[in-house]
Amino acid sequence: MRDAGRLAAATLDMIAQEIRPGVASRRLDALAETFIRDHGAVPAPLGYRGYPFATCMSPNQVVCHGMPDERPLAEGDILKVDVTVKLDGWHGDSCRTFAVGAIDPERTRLLQTTRTALALGLEAVRPGGWLSAIGRAIQGHVEAQGYAVVRSYCGHGIGREFHQPPQVLHHLDLARDVELRPGMFFTIEPMVNTGGHATIRLEDGWTVVTADGGLSAQFEHTVGVTETGVEVFTLSPAG
Ligand code: MF3
Ligand code: CO
Ligand code: CO
């Protein structure tokens, strides 16, 4: 899990150097696939339930599962890049929201709020604690900032499988709680909307957008519960 997580993060570090106005997300997807394969891994999304690309590329009002396309990115866009690698049978899954060139202050605040929401979710992980503490911490911060947490998509157990139980909700739901124990692996990946939390899936069967056309940001880490707290497998090697 450490090796897979590090490779997913290194892929995002590489993509960070390539994002600029004028670049198409299809180009970024191709670069990511080459990088992942050059490091002895495979891109887990490719062929997953028929998904046709190596990564998910979700600009602006796209919440998640956006498909790479040929549109040149424009100054002021935000772009979620979600990378999942499978290395020696183990999965590392991480997403970051990037600014394309200079972005306006409200978009900067959205990104910062989402980054902090993930950090608070990580802090809520401890052995003997509860999965619900993660959603409580994330929802509390996001709503205090005047934003909404997406409810129709969530984090997930991960390991030899890409997606496995439990569902890691980013809002409080005590009805579906799980006690955290050392050795559990899962993702935390809050999606935060400037408007309401509702989402719509487009006719292509994949692309998920905000129902009200608001912007959406996401950060994701793959983590393990340890004897004393949490280990984040997808920390950026570049810092
Ligand atoms: N990486 C996404 C997640 O965080 C899942 C993408 S599934 C795909 O769980 F098929 F769209 F790639
Ligand atoms: Co995930
Ligand atoms: Co992901």
Single-letter code of the amino acid located at 131: L
* pLDDT surpassing 90 at residue 176: no
- The CA distance from 211 to 111, in Å, is 19
Chain segment 75-109, per-residue pLDDT in tens = 999 999 999 999 999 999 999 999 999 999 999 99
Q: Looking at ligand 1, which residue's alpha carbon is closest to its atom 2?
A: 82
H or E segment to which residue 38 belongs: helix 25-38
Ligand nearest to the CA of 157: 2
> Are the CB atoms for 156 and 150 separated by under 8 Å?
no
149 beta partners: 192
Predicted model pTM: 0.98
Q: Looking at ligand 1, which residue's alpha carbon is closest to its atom 7?
A: 45
Stretch 58-79: mean pLDDT, rounded?
Answer: 98
- The CA distance from 230 to 158, in Å, is 15
Distance (angstroms) between ligand 2 centre and the Cα of 84 equals 8
Distance (angstroms) between ligand 1 centre and the Cα of 65 equals 6
Work out the percent of the chain whose per-residue pLDDT is above 70.
100
> Are the CB atoms for 39 and 90 separated by under 8 Å?
no
DSSP state of 6: H
* pLDDT surpassing 90 at residue 174: yes
